[in-house]
Amino acid sequence: MLMYEINMTDIKETKTQNPLLRKAHEEIVRCQVERFRNSYRQYFEREDTEKLVAFFFERIYDLEAQDTIIHSAINTYSKVKNHLSEHTRDNLDNLIVLNQLTHVLDKRMSKLLLKHGWKEGDKLSQEEYFKLFTELGLEAERREQLASSIKCMLVSYHIAHRPFNDTLLKAAKGFAIVFGVSSLYNFIEEGYIATRMVKTDVFDKFIETVTETEMGYLERAFGG
């Protein structure tokens, strides 16, 4: 069940109807990704983990990716989800929830940024971003976002390392083409590919680092 529903008007507003809001949204995303790159620099610089962090800390937050996933979820996914395997359905559900929730939170931060008088071209510092993050509040939603992010990483990793994974992915790809959900499949496949080179001990340490770092950020914003 999707916790946060986005309708087509929400997406159109950020993409076409309000260019300044879209630009503010882009700046929020840029600043967020900058924080991730600073916090997880060692993983961005490792050959075996660079695709993993690029997917979960850049691709997930990319506005075009958000738009594509949400469009597909609204237009096609609900019609075919019952035909998918349990593992594939669970992973897609997780990714869609994460994208929808990220879209909502980033959009609300963008509106708050405009209320503070932001102009196109202004570059947010990490300190200014954190103040907005804290002022917006929505602690429960932020904790849900973190939980969804970690769940997506775990599920993608375990599916990518299952026996006969390549055969299963090829079958799923054919299904996706037939049912018109290729954009969703391609997105989830990126997550699988991103984890294949990562050994279990490295991945476990990565998840531990992410959990500790992001929980610390939330506690600094909202208290323990």
Q: How many C-beta neighbours within 10 Å does residue 200 have?
A: 9
pLDDT of residue 14: 45
Mean predicted confidence (pLDDT) in 6-14: 45
Going by pLDDT thresholds of 50, 70 and 90, the confidence category of residue 60 is confident
Mean predicted confidence (pLDDT) in 90-108: 79
Using a pLDDT cut of 90, give the percent of the chain over it: 39
- Give the mean pLDDT of the chain: 78
Kindly give, in sequence order, each residue whose CB lies less than 8 Å from that of residue 173, ignoring residues fewer than 6 positions away.
185, 189
pLDDT one-digit tens code per residue, 151-198: 888 887 877 766 555 555 555 555 555 555 566 666 667 777 788 788
Mean predicted confidence (pLDDT) in 48-61: 85
pLDDT: which is higher, 164 or 139: 139
pLDDT of residue 204: 93
pLDDT of residue 67: 62
**Would the pLDDT of 8 be above 60?**
no
pLDDT of residue 160: 72
Kindly give, in sequence order, each residue whose CB lies less than 8 Å from that of residue 195, ignoring residues fewer than 6 positions away.
52, 153, 156, 157, 160, 161, 203
**Would the pLDDT of 218 be above 80?**
yes
Going by pLDDT thresholds of 50, 70 and 90, the confidence category of residue 84 is low
DSSP annotation of 169 reads: H
Letter string b/e over residues 109-136, b meaning 16 or more CB atoms within 10 A of that residue's CB? bbebbbeeebeeeeebeeeebbebbeeb
CA distance 18 to 23: 9
Taking a C-beta distance cutoff of 8 angstroms, is the pair 223, 215 a contact? no
Mean predicted confidence (pLDDT) in 123-141: 94
pLDDT of residue 224: 64
pLDDT of residue 19: 87
